[in-house]
Every structure is written in C-alpha cells, then in structure tokens.
C-alpha cells in the first residue's frame, strides 16, 4: 500500500505580515506580492493532480488556495479546523505592543509555555491537538492519495514539530515563509517529512520584493 502524500502550503504575504502584526483568527488581505506568490506556486504545481484541495476558511488562506488552484478542476473545501491559533486578546497587535499593553499575559506566550491559554484564545497544546486531529482525519479520508492543504504558519509549525519530534516548548529555529511548499507523507499511521521550505517557484519574483 502506497503512502498518502500531503502538500502543505502557508498562505501568501498579507498586509499584517508586512507590519509584523499577529493575525490569529482575524484577517488581513493578501498584498499584491502575496497574490503573485500564490499564482507562481499554482504554475509550479500545474502538473500535479490532487485528489482534493483543502484550505483554512480564513480569507488569506482561501484566496491563496483560489489563486493556486485557478486552473485546476478540483474544488476547494474550506476547513475551519485548519485555522491559525486563536490568539485571543493578542490578535491585531505587534509583539512590541504585547510587551507594552499585556506585560503579564504576554510573558508565558512569548516564552513558549505550551499549556498557557491566552485570554479569549487557545493554548499551544489545544491548538496543536486541533491541527493534528484535522490532518489525521484528512489523510484517513484520502488513503494512498495526494492532497493539497493551504493553511497558516502556526499550523505548519505544529505539524513539523509533531512529525520530527520537537517539543512544543522549543522556540522555532527553522524558516517558514509565505507560500513555502512542504511535502509530507502518511503511511501505516506514521507521518514522514519529505521536503521542507521549497521556494523555487519564487525565483523570478525579485521585482516584487519591495511591494
């Protein structure tokens, strides 16, 4: 029995990404560069036939998926469980603003305390459990198939750490950029990381670097 292949993509650049503002379940629009990133990835993936395409229902992921799949005859299924971590009272703020406005509440968040539940939001443990439950459900629905998932940086971080065995409390020490292509496989109950951080589709986008 062959494995299920899972292509996982972070959404394109947004206006709040440029401002380094925490988005969580709030939304900001893709920048022109973000749209171009998604279209470039779509061109790169045009020869791949996916059994299904899933996206977080947040606008930035949905629009990225629509641009990637614009020429594919495969519908996009929106999945709320693929949303970014709910950052509660921190949403819409920069990290600098967190230290100024929420000095007590922000400390355990900034120090990667997995069980800390952000006021009005989720803990890292809750978030990663939600994300992995969703990934496991999707691969169970597409055994031996190939699926594309468009989601968020936090979701990808949870998947990466779970698959390679990195504790959730460990600060991220790997690159995770907009529309990076990351390929996993799932076989006999086991996840495998096949490739990480492919940005080859962006090699001709230097003209948009300052957008």
Residues carrying an active site annotation: 11, 84
Collapsing DSSP states into helix, strand and coil, what is residue 160?
helix
| Cβ–Cβ under 8 Å, residues 84 and 10 | no
d(CA 97, CA 95): 5
Residue 18 CB contacts under 8 Å (≥ 6 apart), including other chains:
31
d(CA 182, CA 37): 15
d(CA 180, CA 200): 9
- Residue that is written with structure tokens 């629509």 in the block: 66
Strand order in the sheet with 190-198: 76-78, 52-55, 146-151, 4-10, 181-187, 190-198
């Amino acid at each position: 029995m062959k494995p299920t292949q899972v292509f996982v993509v972070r959404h394109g650049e947004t206006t709040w990404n440029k401002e380094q503002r925490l988005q969580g379940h709030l939304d900001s629009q893709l920048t022109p560069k973000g749209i171009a990133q998604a279209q470039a990835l779509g061109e790169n993936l045009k020869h791949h036939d996916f059994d299904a395409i899933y996206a977080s229902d947040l606008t930035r992921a949905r629009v990225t998926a629509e641009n990637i799949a614009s020429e594919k005859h495969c519908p996009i299924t929106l999945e709320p469980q693929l949303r970014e971590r709910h950052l509660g009272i921190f949403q819409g703020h920069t990290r600098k603003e967190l230290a100024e406005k929420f000095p007590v509440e922000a400390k355990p968040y900034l120090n990667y305390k997995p069980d800390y539940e952000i006021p009005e939001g989720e803990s890292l443990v809750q978030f990663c459990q939600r994300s992995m439950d969703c990934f496991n459900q999707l691969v169970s629905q597409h055994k031996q198939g190939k699926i594309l998932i468009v989601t968020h940086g936090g979701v990808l971080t949870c998947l990466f750490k779970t698959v390679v065995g990195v504790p959730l409390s460990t600060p991220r020490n790997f690159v995770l950029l907009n529309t990076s292509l990351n390929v996993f496989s799932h076989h006999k109950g086991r996840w495998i990381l096949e490739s990480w951080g492919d940005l080859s589709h962006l090699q001709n986008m230097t003209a948009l670097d300052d957008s």
